[in-house]
Amino acid sequence: MEIKTTAIEGCFEIIPKVFEDERGYFFESFNQAKFEKTTGATPFFVQDNQSFSTKGVLRGLHFQKGEHAQAKLVRVLEGEVLDVAVDIRPGSKTYGAVVRTILSSENKKQLFIPRGCAHGFVTLSATAVFFYKCDNFYNKASEGGILYNDPAFTIDWILDTSELIISAKDLALPTIKKFAAG
């Protein structure tokens, strides 16, 4: 397993070592001891989530606030997505930094997103099954989000805007400036 740093402090790309033969493949998707040794992060995952999306579905940019903040370890079981993390931690030396990476069932990469970062993805393939582990339980009252096309971040979502399928709830999210103003 190879773990790479990203433009966001505490955010890591995880590339597994895949063993393939005539039967198929095997890889270790997570190893707590190796992860802690390499990153210094010590998440204790308490909840797994999974979603199914069709091409163009954009989910995000979401996060949990306060005591219910969540670190996430995300990956794609089927299909391909553009995964995005944005550092929105006040006072962070990487505040405003954006990480974009392709996660797919082919490359088997994962992204570890620390607490205090907004997260989203857009489905690039016909369909995708997205899976993630969280180190804190979901709490509806602590939901937060930033508008996917906030000009403060200039995120290239790869697909044309006309191809995007975004929920009304996500389209109503504030910009980071409005969110920070309270």
Closest CA to 178 of 88, 84, 57: 88
Distances (CA, A) of 124 to 29, 34, 113, 159: 22, 31, 20, 8
Rounded CA gap, 25 and 36, in Å?
A: 25
Task: Give the active site residue among 62, 68, 95, 148.
Answer: 62
CA distances from 10 to 20, 56, 73, 95, 179 (A): 31, 29, 12, 12, 22
- Closest listed residue to residue 146, CA positions, set 46, 29, 58, 14: 58
- 132 noted as active-site residue: yes
Active-site choice (95, 132, 138, 148): 132
With tokens 């999974």, the residue in question is 50
Q: Are 6 and 119 in contact (CB under 8 A)?
A: no
The rounded distance, in Å, linking the Cα atoms of 167 and 57 is: 9
Contact 13, 73 (CB under 8 A): no
Residue 138 annotated in active site: no
Please identify every residue annotated as catalytic: 62, 132
